[in-house]
Amino acid sequence: MATVLNVIFNVLVIGWSLSPWFFAAYLCAAAVIAAGILTARGKIVRKSAGAQEAQSAVQNRLFDGWDTLLIGNRYNWSRWKEVFGRTVDKAEKTETQYRFSNNILSLLIMVGSIFPMILVVLWTLADSAGNVGRMTSVIVTLPRQVSNIQYLSVIVEYVTELVGIREKVRNIDHAASAVEKENQYHGTIRWENLRFSSGDVEFRFENVENFLEFLKDCAEEERYGRILITGTNGSGKTTVLMRIKEYFGDRAYLFPNHTRLFFEDSNKKEYSTGQRLRANVEEVLDRMKDPSVRLFLFDEWNANLDEENQKEISEYIDRLAKRGLILEVRNKEV
């Protein structure tokens, strides 16, 4: 505000002491600045939105990485690191382009705005050729004119930056919407309430040690297939899967329920729940070639899926069961 008042005061003094044409020159400069900003506003907004979206993409990828890191699936982690690097590079590039574009637009607007003032100064000097006193007054005020130009340059930069900032503020909600509450897996396991079945065969375990030893033998002997874990609510079905993942580490692959686990294909577009899970399982089938992974854990994978999606995804899981042992928690029969 002080800068604007300073410019107005200087214009009044110069216009009153030298020539009313200076008023006209500064009015033209103000009109050029206003027209330039209005004309460039769309470009500034687009560049700002692009930079903000790129920054939001980095933030989203960080959220993906957090769940991916906690779950500990090596495949998802390696894919996340690669894509995150590309996302950061894109964000840096778009931010640089936005800054460069802003500076160029400010420069062009500034050049256009000072043109009327230069014309008036030159005309006044030429008109004062025979009047030493008036010419001296014009020359004496030149530093003040330069100061005005500098002040106007600052104003133009502030305004163009403000347009971009307003667009970024508008997009904060978009970035914040990427924040999802993390699932917390905790609790006890009530082994007496749990059932483990593979077809018509049922298994019972008294504690986690016996269960993990059984899975270890299955993995080493390559006994594959699907084991369904059932039990009453609160019996610890999800906790069982988390204990398996904790014990086996990279040798177990966990498909958790409701997390931001990173997959390259399903993160490229908007999918329904069924489409996303199908794409994720298919990606693991086609791209994850780690032979050390012998256990695949599915936590309530058929929740909120219609019958058609359940059957189709179950077929994918059957294919996956030829490569490892499937342990799954379902909230309804398939």
* CATH number (domain holding residue 196): 3.40.50
Same domain, 62 and 172: yes
Same domain, 161 and 32: yes
Q: What pLDDT shows up at residue 180?
A: 36
Shortest CA distance to 254 belongs to which of 297, 289, 301? 297
Q: Which has more confidence, 88 or 11?
A: 88
Residue 181 inside a domain? The answer is no
Same domain, 316 and 218: yes
Q: What pLDDT shows up at residue 175?
A: 45
The residues, ordered by sequence, that sit 6+ positions from 60 with a Cβ below 8 Å of its Cβ are: 178
Q: Which has more confidence, 8 or 233?
A: 233
Lowest mean pLDDT among 1-5, 44-48, 133-137, 310-314: 1-5
Same domain, 208 and 155: no
Shortest CA distance to 300 belongs to which of 250, 197, 228? 228
Q: Which helix (H) or strand (E) holds 227?
A: strand 225-231
Lowest mean pLDDT among 54-68, 123-137, 164-178, 271-285: 164-178
Same domain, 225 and 135: no
Cβ atoms of 329 and 237 closer than 8 Å:
yes
Lowest mean pLDDT among 14-18, 96-100, 144-148: 14-18
pLDDT tens-digit profile of 229-282? 998 888 889 899 989 998 998 899 998 876 667 887 766 667 777 788 888 888
In this prediction the pTM is 0.56
pLDDT grade for 73, boundaries at 50, 70 and 90: confident
What is the mean pLDDT of the segment spanning 60-89? 82
Q: What is the longest distance spanned by two Cα atoms in the chain?
A: 114
Q: What pLDDT shows up at residue 176?
A: 46
- How many domains does the chain fold into? 2
Same domain, 171 and 25: yes
Same domain, 82 and 35: yes
What is the mean pLDDT of the segment spanning 55-81? 80
For residue 203, the enclosing domain spans 191-329
Query: Which stretch, 33-47, 99-113, 266-280, 300-314, has highest mean pLDDT?
Result: 300-314
Same domain, 143 and 230: no
Q: What pLDDT shows up at residue 13?
A: 60
**CATH number of the domain where residue 46 is located:** 1.20.1560.10
Same domain, 140 and 277: no
Calculate the alpha carbon distances from 85 to 82, 158, 189, 249, 287 in Å.
5, 32, 40, 25, 20
Q: What pLDDT shows up at residue 258?
A: 67
Q: What pLDDT shows up at residue 3?
A: 61
Half-sphere exposure of 18 (CA within 13 A, CB side): 30
Residue 184 inside a domain? The answer is no
Q: Which has more confidence, 187 or 248?
A: 248
